[in-house]
Chains A and B, each alone.
Chain A
Amino acid sequence: MKSILASAGAAAILFTTSLAAAQDVNFLSTQLRPVEEAQKVRQVLLKGVPGKVSYLVEEPPQFDVRMKAEGKAGKRTISLAGALHGELQPLVTSGDIEPIDDLAAKLADRGIPQGLMELGKLGTGKQVYIPWMQATYIMVARKEALASLPAGANVNALSYDQLEAWGKALTEKTGKRLIGFPAGPKGLMPRFYQGYLYPSFTGGVVTPFRSADAEAMWGKFKSLWQYVNPNSTSYDFMQEPLMAGEVWVAFDHVARLKDALVQEPDKYVTFPAPAGPKGRGYMPVIAGLAIPKGAPDRAGAAAVIEHLTKPDVQVKTAAEVGFFPVVKAELPADLSPGIKLIAEGVAKTQGARDALPALLPIGLGDKGGEFNKVFSDSFQRIVLRGENPRAVLDAQAAVLKGLMETTKAPCWAPDKASEAACPVN
């Protein structure tokens, strides 16, 4: 027994020394995970960083477990974490992220908009992450779908009524339901409710959750759902059903549409999500860079952050992997056609006259998953199971209220600012 323990100990020591000997800055990321993208990070985006960087990737749940476990064990191997706003939030609650106000001051000349820097404080008053890159959700249509657009509709300024009419026309023409949403187990559908549907119809997310506007909205969405491909509840990434022709009009995160757009740029058009009575809701997505508490190489990590936020590296990031700059930087004219389509979609979304930005949830700590569940459950019950919208909204509003009160999260845009926990009216 003793000898087993001894040899295990010896192995552990060997393992750690071999890690330490390399003296790399371990950079763990939940973004840019596919092999080709990770290789771009290693070979293009991290080129020119002083010192050696190991770029490692992990799926979000495993990332969360690893960051927390290393903190609890008191043995940090990761010096730099790259993840989405919502993924970094629970780590701030658990005390695994170190404030980096000094670095934020140093990067003041990068021209990162104040709003984005504010998001990087996660409501704590201290800078906990530096914005790294941004993206959003857009809509994509196969060009053959454009012929069925309802009369007078401009694809770049659609309303939800027009999207429904379009879906109806497509179904009448082909006999198939050709609109698609990423409502699968790993799809990003909750962001559609929180950043698109609710803001467009109610002008908020949390406060008007069970309002009359919300009730009418779910009715509309249910009626639109008649023309949505029933496989949507299995779709995680819309690029695959688009390429297969199973779906002609789709909504998703740009990173999850990229393969289709890059592989066959001539087949698609990109455009903003539809507008409702309160405007054209959209959700900017922010990935940030954070330094874990007790990071083995804080200086090395800071150097990587400085490098990745340089305007020329930010432009390269857009060109290589399709995430857009958080700093002031001109995109080059010679972007590849697929990336150009994404850039156009994003620009049309942000620049729409009725654009209504809806921020990612702030201050929910580790309750982000349950917050999403409130919206997914409402969808399940109202749209898929045909339950009475009023009863469902009242029941789910109670859950939502409980979440807001436990976390004491104040409202975020587009809800009206609040001092205490965001109210559910």
Chain B
Amino acid sequence: MKRTQSRALPYLLLAPSLVFLTAIFLLPLVQTIALSFSESGVASLGNYRRMVSDLNFGLALRNTFLLVLVVVPIQLALALGMSVMIEKIGRGRDLVLWVWTIPLGVSDLAAGLVWLAILQDRGYLNSALYGLGLIEGPTAWLTYETPGTLFLGVVLAEIWRATAIVLVILVAGLQLIPKEYREAAEVFGARPWTIFRRITLPLLKPSIQTALILRTVLAFEVFAVVYAIGGTNFPVLVGEAYTWQNANQNTGVAAAYAMLIVVISLAATAIYLRVLRVPAEQQP
């Protein structure tokens, strides 16, 4: 009697979260799949055809990938540097970590608006440049005529907003690495760069994997920051899903975009899991 109870216990403990996930994740997912493959109740690929033939589709796909490819590596490099620096700080470490993670607490739309306030025609950047005598008056950086600076603005805002999540994961990972390895390497005369490359980085791989998966999936879902800064001048996949749902009132095509984002995110996750695989015996 007692034995069966204890065997059932894990399942009982898991049940609430399972019910929760089914209700608010799995069911809507199935519904979205069904929606994307039907047009006024009839099974069809029409939504996908419309999505692919839309004038913004190629642009949104390109912009989203470009953002991920530019933003995620920079964030990883920055976060690695920052986390190693934090390891070295003795007093005031918590304060620095706290300040660096402030953007985590800001909603992404708010973060986008902060950067809009900086970059718009009458924003802080132009005021500063004007004050320095570098420009003659309000200069537009975020219009359809200036795609380069618009992209740069979005990249800056994304880096500012979302590097902290990578940082937090890496800091936690660094703390798991036993000090003995480093000390042993130092005894043998290894230089800091060698220690970082040969010891810290390999042992940090599981954390890097987690951080990359999380960050990349979120980067593919980028929306609010782009919407605040670029509006429809810089189409991205989630933004197109939003436009099809809200402005165009076509849930089918919106669902098709949503499915495309799911597939891309799953593919990215699968690639990371495979490329950054850590054999069990190497895990700390």
Contacts and interface: CB of A to CB of B under 8 A. Distances in A.
Contacts of B245: 61
Contacts of A372: 247-248
B99 to A, nearest CB: 32
Nearest to A368: B249
Interface in A330-386: 366-370, 372-373, 377, 380-381, 384
Nearest to A246: B121
A297 interface: no
Contacts of A61: 245-246, 249
Given A61-B246, A369-B247, A372-B247, A234 B233 contact: yes
Contact of B232 (A176, A233, A367, A369): A233
A380 to B, nearest CB: 6
B142 interface: yes
A292 interface: no
A234 B142 contact: yes
Contact of B248 (A176, A369, A381): A369
A64 interface: yes
Contacts, number: 58
Contacts of B249: 61, 64, 90, 366-370
Interface string A379-397: 0110010000000000000
Interface in A194-241: 230-231, 233-234
Interface string A72-112: 00000000000000000010000000000000000000000
Contacts of B143: 230-231, 233-234
A272 B122 CA distance: 29
B149 interface: no
Given A370-B250, A377-B55, A185 B140 contact: no
Interface in B125-157: 137-138, 140, 142-146
A1 B17 CA distance: 11
User: Number of contact residues on A: which range applies?
Assistant: 20 to 34
B144 A233 contact: yes
A176 B227 CA distance: 26
B144 A369 contact: no
B103 interface: no
Nearest to B230: A234
B145 to A, nearest CB: 5
A185 B227 contact: yes
A6 interface: no
B151 to A, nearest CB: 15
Nearest to A396: B55
Contacts of A233: 143-144, 231-233
A233 B138 CA distance: 17
A35 interface: no
A231 B126 CA distance: 15
B246 A230 contact: no
Contacts of B146: 230
A372 B250 CA distance: 12
Contacts of B227: 185
B210 interface: no
Contact of A370 (B19, B142, B230, B248): B248
B250 A231 contact: no
A184 interface: yes
B248 A234 contact: no
B32 interface: no
A244 interface: yes
B41 to A, nearest CB: 13
A80 B138 CA distance: 47
B140 A373 contact: no
B232 A185 contact: yes
B120 to A, nearest CB: 8
Given A230-B143, A230-B144, A384-B144, A373 B247 contact: yes
B279 interface: no
Most buried by A among B121, B144, B245: B144
Contacts of A370: 248-250
A88 to B, nearest CB: 13
Interface in B214-273: 227, 230-233, 243, 245-250
Interface in A129-163: none
Given A184-B231, A185-B227, A231 B247 contact: no
Contact of A1 (B16, B144, B232, B248): B16
Interface string A55-73: 0000001001000000000
A234 B140 CA distance: 12
Contacts of A377: 55
A424 B227 CA distance: 34
B16 A230 contact: no
Nearest to B142: A234
Nearest to B54: A377
A12 B3 CA distance: 39
A6 B230 CA distance: 47
A175 B245 CA distance: 40
A369 B250 contact: yes
Contacts of B230: 234
Contacts of A176: 137
A377 B250 CA distance: 16
Interface in A1-49: 1
Contact of B247 (A185, A230, A380): A185
4 closest Cβ contacts across the A-B interface?
Answer: A369-B249, A230-B143, A369-B248, A61-B246
Given A185-B231, A231-B140, 11 more contacts: A61-B245, A176-B137, A230-B144, A231-B121, A231-B143, A234-B142, A246-B122, A367-B249, A368-B249, A370-B249, A370-B250
Interface of A: 1, 61, 64, 90, 175-176, 184-185, 230-231, 233-234, 244, 246, 366-370, 372-373, 377, 380-381, 384
Interface of B: 15-16, 19, 55, 121-122, 137-138, 140, 142-146, 227, 230-233, 243, 245-250
24 contacts: A1-B15, A61-B245, A61-B246, A64-B249, A90-B249, A176-B137, A185-B227, A185-B247, A230-B140, A230-B144, A230-B145, A231-B121, A231-B142, A231-B143, A233-B144, A233-B231, A233-B232, A234-B230, A246-B138, A368-B249, A369-B247, A370-B250, A372-B247, A372-B248
